[in-house]
């Protein structure tokens, strides 16, 4: 007699729950672009969705409490001249978002805490380098204000957004870059390209350390780094069947696991949770979300379950772990965009009877504090993300963020409300400016009084002259009336009668 042993895992019974329609976001004109993007980005403060916009490109930013039907005239973030293709929230500042567009420009925006009250057209900084449309923007996981962009010109650029300068440009791709992903500490970069290859790149030098065929199919592929250092990929076989694979660096040509899923033609986006080692596969045009657990025991990638919905998805966004509700054992939250204009919120939950904090479900997770500055990272320093505890729920850090130490200009992405360390210098400068303004105001007041006195004297002088002139006219008229009318002189030549002549 044989016994089938069930694999022990605390995530075997994870289930998804779709929130009610009134708790979701409705009436959103989701972008109709054919670009393979998720069209959605989420953080604990805001939800951003790329939308259709006349006369350029735009995306909408909504605070999480603004649910229900969104007004058609809701303010947008709309400074691009072409359709927006990708957006990404900064992991170290929940008010900063980057957007890439068909107009070849990357813009970085500062969103006020309460959301935007009117259409925002002025970005914090424009990043201009690419010659063709920019379809990928990706922030560095540990270094402050380091942003990666990739365009259809096959170029990859790494920026210091705090100064608007390029740190590294990578020119090793012969075709369009489909996806990019940093490893856990940001010391390596993983990309997939239209030439079917995946590459592990040194991001500081741009040198390719390893490359291999990702998937045999010609359609778009995706690859992500796992926390353990392994690589998870999605793509298509030669027969256009959708696949996923698990690989190890230095052995990219020999997949640990490669599995065929179905024959659908939608690109699969892998969304990874490093705290639970779960990977969620969300296909464009699919009505399902499949999720898998990755472990060190065969078959390494364990299928858990599928979340089924009636409508196909246009795009999807994933909430960072610090934005999940720990009181109900929520381990993931997704924002699905439907073609009907509905942004559906889906909560992934582990069933637990106890209402206490579950330490095994919520190990310390990535916080919003940067571990490095851009200069430190460029100098060769690597550091793992700074972790925070979710016990009692996530509380945003109140300590000042690490400032970017540069010589050209100050950091233009300082958090709102964060005071600099040199407060005494700022106060002294402010007092000097106020003193100068007061002196200018005093001089202006004195000048105004002087001009008023001069105008008053001129008015009195003009009035006095007019009175004298009127007096002379009256005296002249009186003199004429007293002497009688003047008699005309007689002309002898003209006043005689004809016969007298």
On the question of pLDDT at 46 being above 70, the answer is yes
The region of weakest confidence among 45-59, 142-156, 278-292, 446-460 is 446-460
Per-residue CA distances from 139 to 143, 233, 278 (Å): 9, 20, 22
Rounded Cα gap, residues 447 and 426, in angstroms:
32
Which token pair is 180? Answer: 């990019």
Identify the three-state secondary structure at position 459: helix
Per-residue CA distances from 52 to 14, 35, 69, 186 (Å): 35, 13, 17, 34
Confidence of residue 472 (pLDDT cuts 50, 70, 90): confident
Give the residue, 385 or 355, on which the prediction is more confident.
385
Which token pair is 75? Answer: 């303010």
Rounded Cα gap, residues 420 and 230, in angstroms:
40
**Per-residue pLDDT at 480:** 66
pTM for the complete prediction?
0.79
Longest dimension (CA), the chain: 171
pLDDT in tens, 194-235: 999 999 999 999 999 999 999 999 999 999 999 999 999 999
> What average pLDDT does the segment 10-20 reach?
93
Strand 125-128 relative to strand 208-213, pairing: unpaired
Per-residue CA distances from 231 to 143, 217, 227, 293, 456 (Å): 22, 18, 9, 14, 86
Residues 6+ apart with CB under 8 A from 65: none
Average pLDDT, the chain: 88
pLDDT in tens, 91-134: 999 999 999 999 999 999 999 988 999 999 999 999 999 999 99
Whole-number CA gyration radius for the chain:
37
> What average pLDDT does the segment 59-75 reach?
94
Rounded Cα gap, residues 82 and 67, in angstroms:
28
pLDDT in tens, 313-342: 999 999 999 999 999 999 999 999 999 999
Confidence of residue 406 (pLDDT cuts 50, 70, 90): very low
Identify the three-state secondary structure at position 177: strand
Per DSSP, 218 falls in state: S
On the question of pLDDT at 494 being above 50, the answer is no
User: Do 257 and 246 touch, CB atoms closer than 8 A?
Assistant: yes
Percent of the chain with pLDDT over 70: 87
User: Do 123 and 92 touch, CB atoms closer than 8 A?
Assistant: no
**Per-residue pLDDT at 356:** 87
């Amino acid at each position: 007699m044989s016994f089938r042993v069930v694999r022990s895992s605390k995530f075997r019974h994870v289930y998804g729950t779709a929130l009610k329609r009134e708790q979701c976001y409705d009436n959103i004109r989701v972008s109709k672009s054919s670009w393979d993007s998720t069209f959605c980005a989420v953080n604990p403060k805001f939800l951003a969705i790329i939308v259709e916009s006349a006369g350029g490109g735009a995306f909408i930013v909504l605070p999480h409490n603004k649910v229900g039907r969104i007004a058609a005239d809701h303010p947008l973030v709309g400074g691009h001249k072409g359709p927006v293709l990708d957006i990404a929230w900064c992991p170290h500042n929940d008010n900063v978002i980057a957007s890439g567009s068909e107009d070849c420009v990357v813009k970085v925006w500062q969103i006020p805490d309460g959301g935007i009250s009117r259409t925002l057209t002025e970005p914090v900084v424009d990043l201009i380098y690419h010659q063709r449309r920019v379809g990928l923007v990706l922030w560095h996981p540990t270094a402050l204000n380091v942003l990666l962009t990739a365009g259809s010109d096959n170029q990859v650029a790494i920026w210091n957004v705090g100064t608007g300068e390029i740190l590294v440009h990578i020119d090793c791709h012969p075709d369009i870059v489909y996806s990019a992903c940093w490893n856990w500490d940001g010391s390596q970069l993983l990309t997939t390209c239209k030439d079917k290859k995946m590459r592990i790149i040194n991001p500081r030098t741009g040198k390719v350390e390893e490359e291999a065929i990702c998937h045999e199919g010609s359609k778009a592929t995706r690859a992500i780094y796992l926390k353990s250092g392994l690589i998870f990929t999605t793509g298509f076989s030669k027969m256009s069947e959708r696949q996923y694979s698990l690989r190890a660096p230095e052995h990219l040509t020999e997949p640990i696991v490669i599995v065929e899923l179905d024959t659908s033609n939608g690109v699969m986006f892998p969304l990874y949770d490093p705290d639970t080692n779960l990977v969620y596969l969300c296909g464009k045009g699919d009505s399902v979300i499949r999720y898998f657990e990755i472990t060190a025991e065969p078959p390494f990638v364990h299928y858990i379950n599928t979340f089924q919905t009636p409508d196909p998805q246009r795009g999807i966004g994933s909430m960072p772990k610090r934005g999940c509700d720990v009181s109900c054992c929520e381990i993931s939250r997704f924002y699905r965009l439907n073609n009907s204009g509905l942004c559906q919120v889906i909560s992934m939950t582990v069933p637990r009877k106890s209402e206490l904090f579950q330490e095994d479900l919520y190990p310390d997770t990535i916080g919003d504090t940067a571990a490095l500055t851009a200069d430190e990272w460029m100098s060769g320093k690597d550091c793992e993300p700074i972790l925070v505890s979710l016990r009692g729920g996530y509380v945003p850090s109140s300590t000042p963020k690490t400032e970017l130490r540069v010589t050209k200009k100050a950091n233009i992405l300082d958090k709102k409300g964060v005071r600099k360390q040199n407060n005494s210098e700022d106060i002294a400068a402010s007092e000097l400016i106020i003193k100068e303004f007061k002196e200018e105001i005093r001089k202006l007041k004195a000048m105004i009084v002087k001009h008023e006195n001069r105008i008053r004297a001129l008015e009195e002088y003009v009035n006095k002259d007019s009175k004298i002139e009127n007096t002379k006219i009256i005296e002249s008229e009186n003199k004429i009336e007293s002497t009688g009318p003047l008699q005309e002189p007689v002309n002898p030549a003209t006043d005689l009668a004809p016969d007298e002549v």
